Structure 1
């Protein structure tokens, strides 16, 4: 009887080792997949950063051509963002349902400020042409 219980225990340990090995292999595959995803994401982020830099350069060139002071627009946006941050709730407070709308409105007003300045520059150009 001693050999029978030992064989059962040994079989149980072998089964556990097989299950552990299978789990380890699945985890290895998941890590490899995740590594590939991270590398792809890094490539995409680098490409997007390059595109954003190109777009910023184009916008700044267009703005300067239209007579818009890019630095003052950026300062206005930063001061609006600082004011929004100062008015925001503490980090440990629960978010209210209207907070997302307030942030969206703040972003819209910021872009509205840029548009209104662009509109002013465009109207100046129209006035000069008339």
Structure 2
């Protein structure tokens, strides 16, 4: 449980750092479209591959003090923490995209403007 919590907290801290760096880059260069969740998912995939390689190729066969930490059983807790951090990143990215879409839709529509319903099935409107 300790491995899971520590790995999850470090992954969420890394998510916050990646998001902050991407926000600064977008503030300096608005013409760039950088998606922090994609960068974070790539980093998590790379970390997962290296973690699996170290766990199963190096520490699983190592004798001595490493066996005390049960590297193979601790790997599955870390893998679950990687997956959970990726899910959190995707959920937050989806919520941010929805909020941005609603904000853009609110800016494009004028308050008090006449709207005509064009289709009762799709609930689409045409501003006049």
Asked if TM exceeds 0.5, the reply is no
Q: Which interval holds the TM-score relative to the shorter structure?
A: 0.3 to 0.5
Q: TM-score w.r.t. structure 1 length? A: 0.34
Structure having the larger proportion of residues in strand: 2
Indicate the structure (1 or 2) with the bigger Cα radius of gyration. 1
Structure having the larger proportion of residues in helix: 1
